[in-house]
A and B are shown apart, each in its own frame.
Chain A
Amino acid sequence: MASDGDVTLEIEGEPVVLMPEHALWLPERRTLLVADAHFGKAATFRAGGIFVPRGTTATTLARLDAALARTDATRIVFLGDLLHAREGRSPETLRLVAEWRASRGTVEVVLVRGNHDRAAGDPPESLGIACVDPPLLEDAFAFTHHPRSVEGYFDVAGHVHPAVRLHGRGRQFERLPCFWVRRDGMVLPAFGDFTGLGDVELAEGDRAFAVADGVVMEVAVERVE
């Protein structure tokens, strides 16, 4: 079910939908792409003696369900950093992810490994998540974790948790997560609920689609010289 908050672009001849849930929907492939879930990050912090309250995993999973409910996806591809760290593989985190996976048994789930996954390890086999090294090549697309890591394909990646800074009249100012679309690739906003933002600098021809209040909208960003 499409929403007013979505933005649809045509890339490599097929529609791609930028969803305010921080996910990318490829209807022709019935595939939902998400990057940088960082499950278990809060648990990692707690194991390291830094207090972070409970609830971030559940919220992230609920948003994933919300995105799925608006599509007829048969496949989810995680573009890396599914798990944050080995210390974060707490029983509770893994239980929540397993419960979610069980509730979505018919959907194929693929993880294209990212830098965090290498240290954290693959998710337990019982979850039925196929794990592959980047890139995952499909037609003109390369699904991967690090942007610009694949030549000759349109890469869809994560890793940078992109954000844009906006300035308006009356000296107003905002910093928002965004989809960062280049001529030869794009970067998704981080999906996880406990992840930071990284400012990106847009080059000539780049486009940024900010996410705010359940809406994706293209923003014109003044480039700083």
Chain B
Amino acid sequence: MDEALERVEAWFASRGWKPFPFQRDVWRAYLTGESGLVHAATGTGKTLAAWIGPLLEASELSDASPAPRPASRKLRVAWITPLRALAADTAESLREPLEALGIGWRVETRTGDTSPAQRARQQRRLPEALVTTPESLTLLLTREDVADVFGDLRLVVVDEWHELMGTKRGVQVELALARLRALCPDVRTWGLSATIGNLDVALRALLGVGAPNDRGRIIRGVEPKEIVVDALIPPVIERFPWAGHLGTQMLPQLVVAIEEGRSAIVFTNTRSQTEIWYQAILGARPDWAGTIALHHGSLDRKKRDWVEDGLRTGKLRCVVATSSLDLGVDFSPVDRVLQVGSPKGIARLLQRAGRSGHRPGATSRVTCVPTNALELVEVAAARDGIASGSIEARLPVTRPLDVLAQHVVTVALGGGFVPAELEAEVKGTYAYADLREDEWRWVLDFVSSGGSALHAYPEYARVVVRDGRWIVENSFLARRHRQSIGTIVSDGHIAVQYLRGGSLGSVEESFIARLKPGDRFVFAGTPLEFVRVRDMKAWVRRAPNVKGAIPRWMGSRLPMSDSLAAMLRERLGEAARGELRGPEMLALEPLFRVQSRWSRIPGPDELLIERVKTREGIHLFWFPFEGRLVHEGLAALMAFRIARTLPITFTMSANDWGFELLSVDAPPLEEALAKDLLSPHALLEDVPASLNATEMAKRQFREIARVAGLVFPGLPRSGKTARQLQASSSLFFDVFRQYDPGNLLLSQAHREVLERQLESSRLGRTLERLTRGRVVITEPRRVTPLAFPLLVDRTRERVSSESLADRIRRMQAALEKAAG
């Protein structure tokens, strides 16, 4: 062992490095059989912390001879990465020390991008180390010889665990880890994570709650680098800011900021913003053509590779990107990071800042570019949050039955299972520790008989029981299940392809559905003309350079975090007292002046409601400053509680700062407030009741229907059979609600809306805060600076206590009147 360790140190030295103490800690812990979690900022040596341990172990077991590979050698290390784009780079850095240490392991990747030939080779024999994604790992678990394939596994590394743990893909990983631990009880698990607010939960979710010896270690990496957050201050403050507004007035300053550095990343919050800013920068500096690029998750892999390569070698001056560049990959030449739009969260801004000065000890700087003036307050708030270390927690998903149903079929394919054993295994995960007996029973029924024993459906048999083992017999179903495993991530994506061949990437189906042949749009930085949809692909041709629609993607759904919201309220409280601290707040003075003259700047213990009359009707603008998700829930709840007292229809919109209720007639606001409108009491009854009036649960059901295998992406070459099995998730939702109201996937949809979309616990805390405080109603004659972004927001929900027919008659009457 000592000899091997010397070789490791020599290799570090050859690169001008020295192992960090935390790296040695991880190696030692691994070698004594421990599992755990390593947290540190990006680019501080987490990869080598996890990787060297198994290499030392291999040297020790003289199990690493480079010369002919014994046929008995199997997979030793599985390395899970959240993005397939990171797989190739990760594999590359894992290969680096092998030669110097005299270890003849093969390191390969296995992702959705892996070629069929490579897959076929891996089908025969896997390498010693495999870099893969949660989906591809799950796919390997469907192999019938799964016990043999993973029989020699020593270590599973989950890279960027903080990115996965708050999602259903994280649950998919938890289930896969439980499966691997069942197949090889000695396997160790190490997670690599950025620093988050609840590392203890992250560790438990990673290691499961089953075995008592799986407590694991949390090892802290090197101290975070010094972080500088600043902002480009607009020369003129727009007093009526609009979130959807491009903010091109910031373009000249942005271009100057890019020029200051050698190589810059411009982060935006959505893929469509990426396209918009890429076009704008290119328009301002046509001479940069060829040295600027864009990068987002919908682009074709080859294009992304080219961009990442350009960043690494310093050939690109500027890349406009989404969170697709948040993770992994070392882009040392990058010395300037800009964030366009709200930072949304403190951890997120830290992560992005860390993309510059990508060397331990160097200073990281991020410059925020507000797309509307109010975002300057968020920049100031984010800086406060970083200074006080208010890093957000990541809430793991618990008990999603859609993912469990998918997993049960996966295990049935991968050699089959005995229910009692699988139940114990599943309950050993953090996600399903509290799985109820009836829920487990229901999932088994859902994948086998379709209902309870009394109402079984003879024609339905996804999973069948043979000699006590639950297996999948039908090869069509097996194939479809394998194809649908990747669907946890893809929200009904459709490939965009040139008529003459060549793929550009993929966009949401909902965007393509709105296009008519001949329509033009911009994607991957290229103006395109839509031709048609066929074979689940959108066929396009290049269009002359025109202004076109930019695809609107789902990515913009990220709400402002609770930590950032708290800091924001503090900053506004200061502004209410007339204290403007720092360049961002000082710049906003004209906006604050109009706001307080026309209405009010709410103090920290005040809830401001503005009542404004326009041609559209009566608008109520509420400002709890709690993030968009909480506001959507609050809006539905307030609308529901008011509509309970009289027939009225509300249209709602919400953003990170507040929400709007719009109605044709004036709602009895004061009376409702006097009668506990804001009460946190009966929240768990009222919120679901208000949901029935909205379509939120139905929308949430889209994802559930996909994961549970009800709707699936089209299968090439399966022809008619597949077409006859196409139905929309909303149709399933309606049919379940009418004929199978006890279907637990429906309750899951409601639960997900409640817990995740509406963050009901945060909603409850918000109501408690608001009831403790004071409500201030103002009646501005015009829409105020705070309210303006809500007025022009386009995403709207509705709550109504009128009958559908009445509502339509009303719409008709209005149209008639308008038509004269």
Is the C-beta of A45 less than 8 angstroms from some C-beta in chain B? yes
Known contacts A53-B743, A212-B808, A213-B804; A172/B649 CB under 8 A: yes
Known contacts A170-B651, A172-B651; A212/B724 CB under 8 A: no
Looking at the complex, which of B13-21, B352-360, B454-462 is the stretch in contact with chain A? Answer: B454-462
A90: nearest residue on chain B (CB-CB)? B459
A194 to B739, CA, bound (A): 11
Which residue among B460, B796, B809 has the maximum number of chain A CB atoms within 10 Å of its CB?
Answer: B460
Is the C-beta of B668 less than 8 angstroms from some C-beta in chain A? no
Is the C-beta of A131 less than 8 angstroms from some C-beta in chain B? no
Residues of A near B810 (CB, < 8 A) are: 168-169
Inter-subunit contact B739/A174 (CB<8 Å): no
Known contacts A44-B725, A170-B663; A49/B739 CB under 8 A: no
Known contacts A44-B724, A170-B664; A51/B819 CB under 8 A: no
Inter-subunit contact B721/A48 (CB<8 Å): yes
Residues of A near B798 (CB, < 8 A) are: 172-173
Is the C-beta of A56 less than 8 angstroms from some C-beta in chain B? yes
Residues of B near A196 (CB, < 8 A) are: 727-728, 731
Is the C-beta of A171 less than 8 angstroms from some C-beta in chain B? yes
Inter-subunit contact B796/A171 (CB<8 Å): yes
Is the C-beta of B113 less than 8 angstroms from some C-beta in chain A? no
Residues of B near A167 (CB, < 8 A) are: 811
Contact of B735 among A46, A53, A85, A213 (CB under 8 A): A53
- A79-119 CB mask vs B (1 if < 8 Å, else 0) is 00000110100100000000000000000000000001001
* Interface residue tally on B, bucketed by range: 35 or more
Inter-subunit contact A213/B805 (CB<8 Å): yes
Is the C-beta of B547 less than 8 angstroms from some C-beta in chain A? no
Is the C-beta of B740 less than 8 angstroms from some C-beta in chain A? yes
A213 to B807, CA, bound (A): 11
Residues of B near A43 (CB, < 8 A) are: 459
Contact of A174 among B459, B662, B724, B804 (CB under 8 A): B804
A171: nearest residue on chain B (CB-CB)? B651
- A36-55 CB mask vs B (1 if < 8 Å, else 0) is 00000111111111111111
A222 to B818, CA, bound (A): 12
Which residue among B720, B807, B810 has the maximum number of chain A CB atoms within 10 Å of its CB?
Answer: B807
Residues of B near A169 (CB, < 8 A) are: 616-617, 664, 810-811, 814
Contact of A56 among B476, B739, B808 (CB under 8 A): B739
A105 to B731, CA, bound (A): 33
Residues of B near A47 (CB, < 8 A) are: 459-460
- Chain A: minimal CB distance from B512 (Å): 14
Inter-subunit contact B459/A194 (CB<8 Å): no
Inter-subunit contact A45/B727 (CB<8 Å): yes
Residues of A near B709 (CB, < 8 A) are: 49-50
Inter-subunit contact A168/B814 (CB<8 Å): yes
Is the C-beta of B710 less than 8 angstroms from some C-beta in chain A? yes
Inter-subunit contact A168/B807 (CB<8 Å): yes
- A143-186 CB mask vs B (1 if < 8 Å, else 0) is 00000000000000000000000111111111010000000000
Is the C-beta of B523 less than 8 angstroms from some C-beta in chain A? no
Residues of A near B616 (CB, < 8 A) are: 169-171
Known contacts A49-B480, A194-B727, A194-B731; A219/B460 CB under 8 A: no
Inter-subunit contact A212/B804 (CB<8 Å): yes
Is the C-beta of A217 less than 8 angstroms from some C-beta in chain B? yes
Contact of B710 among A50, A173, A176, A220 (CB under 8 A): A50
Inter-subunit contact A172/B807 (CB<8 Å): yes
A42 to B450, CA, bound (A): 12
A166 to B810, CA, bound (A): 11
A85 to B815, CA, bound (A): 42
A168 to B739, CA, bound (A): 32
- Chain B: minimal CB distance from A66 (Å): 16
Inter-subunit contact B649/A170 (CB<8 Å): yes
B652: nearest residue on chain A (CB-CB)? A171
Inter-subunit contact A52/B732 (CB<8 Å): yes
Which residue among A84, A87, A169, A171 has the maximum number of chain B CB atoms within 10 Å of its CB?
Answer: A169
A45: nearest residue on chain B (CB-CB)? B725
Which residue among A85, A116, A166, A171 has the maximum number of chain B CB atoms within 10 Å of its CB?
Answer: A171
Residues of A near B480 (CB, < 8 A) are: 49
A215 to B728, CA, bound (A): 25
A174: nearest residue on chain B (CB-CB)? B808
A167 to B735, CA, bound (A): 26
Residues of B near A187 (CB, < 8 A) are: none
Is the C-beta of B803 less than 8 angstroms from some C-beta in chain A? yes
Contact of B455 among A46, A54, A87, A171 (CB under 8 A): A54
A223 to B803, CA, bound (A): 25
- Chain B: minimal CB distance from A55 (Å): 4
A56 to B709, CA, bound (A): 20
Residues of A near B807 (CB, < 8 A) are: 168, 172, 174
Contact of B739 among A54, A90, A176, A219 (CB under 8 A): A54
Is the C-beta of A35 less than 8 angstroms from some C-beta in chain B? no
A122 to B20, CA, bound (A): 76
Is the C-beta of B816 less than 8 angstroms from some C-beta in chain A? yes
Interface residues of A in 181-218 (CB under 8 A from B): 193-196, 210, 212-213, 215, 217
Which residue among B459, B462, B731, B815 has the maximum number of chain A CB atoms within 10 Å of its CB?
Answer: B459
B725: nearest residue on chain A (CB-CB)? A48
Known contacts A172-B798, A213-B803; A166/B808 CB under 8 A: yes
Residues of B near A166 (CB, < 8 A) are: 808, 811
- Chain A: minimal CB distance from B175 (Å): 21
Which residue among A42, A53, A217 has the maximum number of chain B CB atoms within 10 Å of its CB?
Answer: A53
- Chain B: minimal CB distance from A37 (Å): 15
B665: nearest residue on chain A (CB-CB)? A170
Known contacts A46-B450, A50-B710, A169-B616; A219/B461 CB under 8 A: no
Is the C-beta of B242 less than 8 angstroms from some C-beta in chain A? no
Residues of A near B808 (CB, < 8 A) are: 166, 168, 174, 176, 210, 212, 217, 219
Residues of A near B663 (CB, < 8 A) are: 170
Interface residues of B in 728-754 (CB under 8 A from A): 728, 731-732, 735-736, 738-740, 743
Residues of A near B720 (CB, < 8 A) are: 119
Is the C-beta of B451 less than 8 angstroms from some C-beta in chain A? yes
Residues of A near B803 (CB, < 8 A) are: 213
- Chain B: minimal CB distance from A215 (Å): 5
Inter-subunit contact B812/A219 (CB<8 Å): yes
Residues of A near B721 (CB, < 8 A) are: 48, 87
Is the C-beta of B530 less than 8 angstroms from some C-beta in chain A? no
Is the C-beta of B477 less than 8 angstroms from some C-beta in chain A? yes
A170 to B739, CA, bound (A): 34
Interface residues of B in 780-820 (CB under 8 A from A): 796, 798, 803-805, 807-812, 814-816, 819
Residues of B near A41 (CB, < 8 A) are: 727
Residues of A near B732 (CB, < 8 A) are: 52
Contact of B662 among A56, A171, A213 (CB under 8 A): A171
Known contacts A49-B474, A169-B616; A55/B811 CB under 8 A: no
Residues of A near B724 (CB, < 8 A) are: 44, 48, 84-85, 87, 116, 119
A45 to B739, CA, bound (A): 15
Is the C-beta of B446 less than 8 angstroms from some C-beta in chain A? yes
Which residue among B724, B735, B809, B812 has the maximum number of chain A CB atoms within 10 Å of its CB?
Answer: B724
Which residue among A41, A52, A90, A119 has the maximum number of chain B CB atoms within 10 Å of its CB?
Answer: A52
- Chain A: minimal CB distance from B746 (Å): 11
- Chain A: minimal CB distance from B555 (Å): 23
- Nearest 8 A/B pairs, CB to CB: A168-B811, A53-B740, A46-B460, A55-B739, A53-B739, A213-B805, A169-B814, A49-B477
Q: What are 8 residue pairs bridging A and B, where the CB atoms are less than 8 Å apart in the complex?
A: A48-B476, A49-B476, A51-B450, A85-B724, A172-B651, A174-B807, A174-B811, A217-B809
Residues of A within 8 A of B (CB): 41-56, 59, 84-85, 87, 90, 116, 119, 166-174, 176, 193-196, 210, 212-213, 215, 217, 219-220, 222
Q: Knowing that A169-B810, A212-B808, A219-B808 are A-B contacts, what are 15 other residue pairs whose CB atoms are under 8 Å apart, sorted by A's residue number?
A: A43-B459, A44-B724, A46-B459, A47-B460, A48-B724, A49-B461, A49-B476, A53-B735, A55-B738, A90-B459, A170-B649, A171-B616, A172-B651, A194-B735, A212-B805
